Amino acid sequence: MENQKVPISSVPNLKELSRPIANFPPSIWGDRFINYACEDENEQAQKERQVEELKEQVRRELAATVDKPLQQLNIIDATQRLGIAYHFENEIEESLEHIYLHTYVENNCFQGSHDLYSVALWFRLLRQDGYKVSCDVFDKFRDYEDNFKNSLMEDAKGLLELYEATHLSVHGEEMLDDALEFAKTRLESIVNHLNYPLAEQVRHALYRPLRKGLPRLEAVYFFRIYEAYDSHNKALLKLAKLDFNLLQSLHKKELSDMARWWKSLDFAAKFPFARDRLVEGYFWVLGVYFEPQYSLARKIIIKVFTMISTIDDIYDAYGTLDELELFTKAMQRWDVGSLDQLPEYMKPCYKSILDVYNEIEEEMDNQGSLFRMHYAKEVMKKLVEGYMDEAKWCHEKYVPTFEEYMPVALVTSGYTFLTTISYLGMGEIASKEAFDWLFSHPPVIEASESVCRLMDDMRSHKFEQERGHVASGIECYMKQYGVTEEEAHDEFRKQLVKAWKDINEECLRPYRVPKPLLMRILNLTRVIDVIYKNEDGYTHVKKAMKDNIASLLIDPMIV
């Protein structure tokens, strides 16, 4: 922490103020993404025609395997892993429903090939699509003592698929907990004896199981793995690569537009103490939804995201308690007239928030969805109130109990806020009923917030304590229960397992809201696992984050 004295002439009776400057690293990207070179229109049109032709070919292949469930499951799995399933949502939905009805409801088991790989793939794909198929289908792979059979020990492909399937477990499925431990332990022991590409698949899955991976990022990884298998579907692979490049062009155009907007605000100069993370924020948003139909939704959320990131840093890396009280009250009033009551340095941020929301409001009005703005404003007000609560704790050097800390910390995780904003540009499915459901704080939201908060605290605890940040969940837990930091981490890991099971449970049919809305929550949770698994990759942008951004926004696929 570095305390710096900064004159604030606009605050009465204060000549100099001591501020805990965090010294966040600057943006590493500069103006790299501002300029966007449009692709030749003829080349673009040719690629789009190729995509349409290949889509029809894949549809025919899906239809041709209607009575061959294992072949159909493999095609569906490949389309999902390659990031092109959004082109075939109806076909995949119909296929999985048919497989569910004919192999489970009618026969109460999977009647295709009975090897471990096939059963685990069947289980995972149906669970991913919300069907609560029973884990009893794995009974046949256990012995009379309920241990998994020794004959499975060398079945690396089957063990890998079993490992992936176990990450769809819900509470009360001890068999899947045992299966996870069994598969994980065995895969770790044999991975160095496997050949490429299976060895690479196993290493990747052990680091990040499919359930926790970002679809767009997982697709980039899977391209080379899939291509390395002689049995790969050439039409699928070509479609996936062409589609990736077309979407990447769209994403680069969006980021270019946002980069020019962000530069025009000049926040990097006006708020030098805050994190300048437009590009990382856009990567976060791509994790939530990458599909072309959500272009407007991305443009809305990235603008709000950059605003709230700056506000977050004003509250815990710069503002005094008196200043923050003024800003909190101004946010509650939501009125441009409140500008005059704010310190000079806060005014550009407050004005920009109002401007962004006015722009969104105009768009919502054009769509006949003006009701959404009430929710967007209320969730912002609640988030800022949470920031204020934490600022008071920090000012008073108060370490709350873990039970007192978590309700506030879940709010300041920002995940109810981001979920709300993510719905604004999603069209008719984001109904008033959906927003009311979201504001009832359902279990899936609490679980998503928990993953965000717990992983954030685990990775940023030491850095934040060094700079005089509010007590983290780790510190609260250690003090209350008299445990070591490692013991607190162990407890947090247990709570993360519970939270993921809650999410899995809430993503099963019957859905309480349309599935695309649930997917935003799932993907937001996945983003946290990607960015915060080993470090705070948003605040301290290192190799892993740079490589991830480059793979999605710089490097095209070679077709």
CB atoms closer than 10 angstroms to residue 387: 25
Q: 269 exposed, middle or buried (CB, 10 Å; 0-12, 13-18, 19+)? A: exposed
User: How far apart (Å, rounded) are the C-alpha atoms in residues 183 and 164?
Assistant: 9
Phi, psi (degrees; rounded to nearest 5) at 3: -85, 120
User: How far apart (Å, rounded) are the C-alpha atoms in residues 545 and 558?
Assistant: 22
Inter-residue contact 5 to 17 (CB < 8 Å): yes
User: How far apart (Å, rounded) are the C-alpha atoms in residues 396 and 470?
Assistant: 10
CB atoms closer than 10 angstroms to residue 365: 11
Tokens of 152: 């499975």
User: How far apart (Å, rounded) are the C-alpha atoms in residues 444 and 500?
Assistant: 9
Inter-residue contact 154 to 194 (CB < 8 Å): no
Q: What's 225-255 look like in SS3? A: HHHHCCCCCHHHHHHHHHHHHHHHHHHHHHH
3-state secondary structure of 470: coil
Closest among 29, 33, 454 to 275, alpha carbons compared = 29
Q: 499 exposed, middle or buried (CB, 10 Å; 0-12, 13-18, 19+)? A: buried
User: How far apart (Å, rounded) are the C-alpha atoms in residues 523 and 515?
Assistant: 12
Q: How many helices (H) and strands (E) does the chain have?
A: 23, 2
Q: 462 exposed, middle or buried (CB, 10 Å; 0-12, 13-18, 19+)? A: exposed
316 marked as part of a ligand binding site: yes
User: How far apart (Å, rounded) are the C-alpha atoms in residues 153 and 161?
Assistant: 13
Closest among 257, 254, 252, 267 to 308, alpha carbons compared = 267
Tokens 């480059």 correspond to 550
464 marked as part of a ligand binding site: yes
User: How far apart (Å, rounded) are the C-alpha atoms in residues 539 and 532?
Assistant: 10
Instruction: Return the percent helix, strand and coil in the chain, to nearest 5.
Output: 70, 5, 25
Tokens 């159909």 correspond to 72
Tokens of 250: 């769209």
C-alpha dihedral, 382 to 385 to 390 to 393, nearest 10°: -140
User: How far apart (Å, rounded) are the C-alpha atoms in residues 453 and 451?
Assistant: 6
Inter-residue contact 424 to 364 (CB < 8 Å): yes
User: How far apart (Å, rounded) are the C-alpha atoms in residues 143 and 178?
Assistant: 13
Residues of the binding site = 312, 316, 464
Residues of the binding site for Mg(2+) = 312, 316, 464
